Structure formats: C-alpha cells, structure tokens
Amino acid sequence: MRSVQMQIAALGGMAVIVAQPTYGLSEITTAAAETFAKIIEGYEQQGASMLIEFGHEMNGNWYAWGQQPAEYIKAFQTMSTAIAKVWEAHQ
C-alpha cells in the first residue's frame, strides 16, 4: 500500500479504499475503527487523498456483513465516527 500511496500523492490523485468487514460486523470495534482511521490519516498526511467505501452490497446475502441492518448501521457509525474524528482534527 505504501508504494501505491506514494504514486497517488505524486499524481495528486485519490485512492478508493474498499473496506470489507470479511470477518463479520462484530469485528468493527471502536479500537479497530480508530486503527483504520489512523492508517488512512497517515496516507493523507503524505499527500494521498482517500475515499472510503465501507461494506458495499450490504443488502445481499453473499457477504458476511449482508442482510444485518441493525449490525451494519452500528458498524458503519463506528467507522464513520472514527474517521470523522481524524479528519476534524486536521481542519
């Protein structure tokens, strides 16, 4: 990921990070989300913009996180809160 981040920064581009909770939504804890956010923060501080997509196709049954609306909402809120805290600190 480091070399990709460097290429993105050099080109002034943006990476799309597809965050898939492949081990299940219960793995999206505050600590895990904050760790993820800090990694993304490091990439952004090096000049690589990031767009994050979390748990796409949550309405299907073909992913571990699919068809669990209450659990998905909780995990999404946990991730978005952690990411927002990092970005707010730099504004």
Provide the residue-wise pLDDT of the chain in tens; the chain has 91 residues.
678 888 888 898 898 999 999 999 999 999 999 999 999 998 888 888 889 999 999 999 999 999 999 999 999 999 999 999 887 776 6
* Other residues' Cβ atoms within 10 Å of the Cβ of residue 13: 11
In the chain, the amino acid numbered 80 is S
CB 54 within 8 A of CB 40: no
Look at the pTM and tell me if it is higher than 0.75.
Answer: yes
- Which residues have a Cβ under 8 Å from the Cβ of 30 and sit 6 or more positions away? 78, 82
